[in-house]
Amino acid sequence: MDFGKREFELLNKINFIRTCGTEEEKQVAQILANEARAIGTEPTIETFDVDRWDIKKVALVSDGKEWEVTGYGMSGSTPEEGITAPFAYVQDATDMDLVNAKGKIVLINGRITDQVYPKLIKAGVLGFITFQGNIVDKREETDLDTRNLRDWAIKEGKIPGVNMRAMDAIELVRSNPATITLTLVQEEGLATSQNVIAELPGSDAKGETIVFGAHYDSVPFSHGVYDNGAGSVIIMELLRYFKAHPAKRNLRFCWFGSEERGLLGSKAYVATHKDELKDVALMVNVDVAGPVLGRDIAMVTADDGLRIAVDYLAKEVGFPLTSKQDIYSSDSIPFADNGVPGINFCRFGAPGGANIHCRHDVIDALAPENLEETSKFILAFAERMANSVVFPVPHTIPQNIVEKVDTYLKKDKKEKK
Ligand SMILES: [Zn+2]
């Protein structure tokens, strides 16, 4: 098998930043579609709308000092001259922290979450500041994230926000300015992202389809080879294999765009293909693979019997794999939300062995051999599933997983089934 070699070649072709809704993301969709075509399939590209923003002006100034910040996309705009208001460091934004926050620009610990954001709205803050990284970071060796408000935050209302470095946040809090001026001017609109889809009809499908998925987009500053060029090239090799060795079940291969922006590609897919989901017997997702230093995991978003089966298979073929029944923060979630059982394969980097979501997600941490080993195991699993006489995985999602999916998708109680 030349899996690893071919996978590495394709990975090198998409080894550049390709974020949600950009030309680079479109370019990679074309590269993947061309590869699927060269294999002998007729891939289609399905487009969907995503939020886009263009930050015209962003600044944070206190006592004459301008701080290094990036603006939160989709968080609205201040007037051109900014807003000047009292500053408060509100730590974890607990009720106590927020007692006197009304009318202020506040700095919080950590990220904007669905726990924190509604509290900031309710407290009546005028602007928010987050910080990232570590006080020991070197400015020239790290990038300041460009963040945005997601749908669940936007529906609560918009507050203009900026992101800064931890090393600057410590100085800002120490300087304890009476007031601070936050300026954020942005144009908000829509862009297009896309999923690439290739199909292999089964010889005796019994109306059942297995969907293989991997997201091919990256976050800003990241070449996204480990996360998740690796998964993208792995499912391409599965397509090549099954084209040459036709299976009983229908097989569909989906390269999802905009996963990093909140699973937007797979959400668009399940919305567009809702009527077909009852026939999707299993969703096999691959997200992160390839590191030299690491370990292989199967995360089973399905009946626990599937976890046991994959665990037995790993022992049977002699592949070191840890299997767990849980949700996995990736494109299998919208499928699970629609009752489609899933399994997520990944090779996680060992601590210090691979990085995601930053400029350090680089190909140097990966090797063809590791891609190949993971691919071969996924193939061993997929071959059995794709050719099973009776499909063995129940078409249900266990209650413990349903609850985790609902929480992950931040569903209101009334939205829950
Ligand atoms: Zn990923």
Q: What is the pLDDT of residues 102-135, one digit of tens each?
A: 999 999 999 999 999 999 999 999 999 999 999 9
pLDDT recorded at residue 357 = 93
Domain end point (choices 116, 150, 176): 176
Q: How far is the CA of 286 from the centre of ligand 1 (A)?
A: 9
Average pLDDT, integer, range 195-206: 95
In a domain, 56, yes or no: no
Q: Which residue has the tokens 């690893």?
A: 4
pLDDT for 174 equals: 98
% the chain with pLDDT above 90: 97
pLDDT (0 to 100) of residue 2 = 85
Count the Cβ atoms, other than its own, within 10 Å of residue 380. Answer: 15
> Residue 32: helix, strand or coil by DSSP?
helix
Number of alpha carbons in the 13 Å side-chain half-sphere of residue 75: 27
- Asked whether 361 and 355 are in contact (CB, 8 A), the reply is yes
Distance (Å, whole) CA 276 – CA 270: 9
CA angle 239, 244, 247 (to 5 degrees): 75
Is 182 within the bounds of a domain? Answer: no
Quote the ligand 1 centre to 346 CA distance (angstroms): 10
CATH of the domain at 154: 3.50.30.30
For residues 337 and 248, membership in a common domain is answered with yes
Give yes or no: residues 30 and 80 share one domain: no
Residue 281: inside a domain: yes
Asked whether residue 227 falls in the same domain as residue 149, the answer is no
- Confirm if 212 and 251 have CB atoms less than 8 A apart: yes
User: What distance in angstroms lies between residue 143's CA and the mean position of ligand 1's atoms?
Assistant: 19
| Whether residues 257 and 367 fall in one domain | yes
329 C-alpha to center of ligand 1: Å? 8
- Please tell me the distance between residue 183's alpha carbon and the centre of ligand 1 in angstroms: 32
127 and 86 together in one domain:
yes
- Write the pLDDT tens digit of every residue in 349-392: 999 999 999 999 999 999 999 999 999 999 999 999 999 999 99
Decide which of 176, 206, 235 is a domain's last residue: 176
Which residue, 189, 192, 211, 191, is CA-closest to 200?
Answer: 211
Q: Are residues 294 and 364 in the same domain?
A: yes
Residue 415 has pLDDT above 90, yes or no: no
Ligand 1 mean position, distance from CA 174 (Å): 37
User: Which domain, by its residues, includes 406?
Assistant: 3-51+191-415
Same domain, 340 and 206: yes
The verdict on 256 and 397 lying in the same domain is yes
Query: What pLDDT band is residue 1 in, cutting at 50, 70 and 90?
Result: low
Residue 191 CA to residue 264 CA, distance in Å, equals 12
Cα–ligand 1 centroid distance for 271 (angstroms): 21
In the reported structure, the alpha carbon of residue 205 is separated from the centroid of ligand 1 by a whole-number distance in angstroms of 30
Assign residue 329 a region: left if phi > 0, alpha if psi is -120 to 50, beta otherwise? beta
Does residue 167 register a pLDDT over 70?
Answer: yes
User: Is residue 140 a part of any domain in this protein?
Assistant: yes
Q: Do 205 and 261 fall within a single domain?
A: yes
Of 148, 176, 204, the residue at which a domain comes to its end is 176
Q: Is residue 260 part of a domain?
A: yes
- Does residue 59 fall inside a structural domain? no
Average pLDDT over residues 323-344: 98
User: b/e for 12-23, b at 16 or more Cβ within 10 A?
Assistant: eebbebbbbbbe
Rounded Cα–Cα distance for residues 118 and 125 (Å): 11
Percent of the chain with pLDDT over 70: 98
301 CA from centroid of ligand 1 (Å): 16
Predicted TM-score (pTM) of the model is: 0.94
If asked whether residues 225 and 343 sit together in one domain, one would say yes
Measure 214 CA to ligand 1 centroid, in angstroms.
Answer: 8
CB 336 within 8 A of CB 405: yes
In which band, very low, low, confident or very high, does the pLDDT at 236 lie, cut at 50, 70 and 90? very high
Counting the structural domains of the chain, the total is 2
CA gap 255, 49 in Å, rounded: 16
The SS3 of residue 313 is helix
Residue 346: pLDDT band (50, 70, 90) is: very high
Ligand 1 centroid, distance to 225 Cα (angstroms): 10
Distance 393 CA to ligand 1 centre (A): 25
Whether residue 99 is found in the same domain as residue 245:
no
Averaged confidence pLDDT in the chain? 96
- Mean pLDDT calculated for residue range 167-189: 98
Whether the per-residue pLDDT at 239 is higher than 90: the answer is yes
Distance (angstroms) between ligand 1 centre and the Cα of 185 equals 30
What is the CATH number for 322?
A: 3.40.630.10
Q: How far is the CA of 228 from the centre of ligand 1 (A)?
A: 5
pLDDT value at 201 more than 80: yes
pLDDT confidence tier of residue 160, bands split at 50, 70 and 90: very high
- Measured in angstroms, how far is the CA atom of residue 206 from the centroid of ligand 1? 32
- What pLDDT does residue 376 have? 97
Distance 358 CA to ligand 1 centre (A): 12
Indicate whether 417 pLDDT > 70: no
CA of 12 to the centre of ligand 1 (A): 17
Q: Are residues 80 and 204 in the same domain?
A: no
Give the pLDDT score at 205.
86
